[in-house]
Amino acid sequence: MPASKTIVVTGAASGIGQAIAVRASHDGHRVVIVDICDQDDTASRIKVDGGTSVAKTCDLRDAVAVGKLFAEIEQAHGGVDILINCAGTMGKWPLTLSETTAQGFDEVFGVNMKGTYLCCREAIASMRSRGRGSIVNIGSELAFKAAPGATLYCAAKAAVVQFSRALAVEEAPNGIRVNTVCPGPVDTNLLNPTVGAVPVDIAAQSCEQTALKRLGTAQEIAEVVWFIANDKASYMTGAVVPVDGGALAT
């Protein structure tokens, strides 16, 4: 893969997104790290490894802001070669459906689904003009496995999966690949409940629900994402790849 490629990673300030951004930089690519939070830690890690990054702050729920973001990338770097949509939130959880609010719905679907849609829409315009491109959207095992207290997140990630499959078929004639990686329980802050008195240890419970009996690491997810994103996986499109320690197999 040529060293001149521009890689955009959303949700790159921490967790899986940060691990993906750092992994991409190892191969000598320019990485645009996008988040609504401070990206200094990710930028520092990439710099220490000898990589190149550009930090961009953006609310991915805002269509105007996303349009401006990709216009700036186009002007500065000639467009996007690889887009990895990792920005996500579980919102406030665990909550039963009757405890959720319309505002909570907008937050969870806004970040997970609308943000993915807006970034794909903008990136594809650039990719089509060159007849190539790769997109990896981050789903979740919870797109397939029900989790009480996380109904909105389950639904939003299921939407990401089917959106990605449809987009893959739509854009294949234009040389654009679209795939989805669905992590299982991973040792990041997203696994931490934010409301209520949780009667069990969520991390320990999640470990028991996997075949490997442990949490994954952000780096393990990043390795799979990066393989699928680059040209080594050039015959993959429309794929949905669980990286879940065997959680869906049990």
Catalytic residues: 153
CA atoms of 250 and 12, how far apart (whole Å): 31
Residue 177 β-bridge partners: 134
CB atoms inside a 10 Å sphere around CB 102: 7
CA atoms of 175 and 181, how far apart (whole Å): 20
CA atoms of 202 and 123, how far apart (whole Å): 36
Q: What is the dihedral of CA 19, 25, 27, 32, to 10 degrees?
A: 110
Closest CA to 13 of 191, 188, 217: 188
Which residue's structure tokens are 């930090």?
55
SS (H, E, C) 12-78: CCCHHHHHHHHHHHHCCCEEEEEECCCCHHHHHHHHHCCCEEEEEECCCCCHHHHHHHHHHHHHHHC
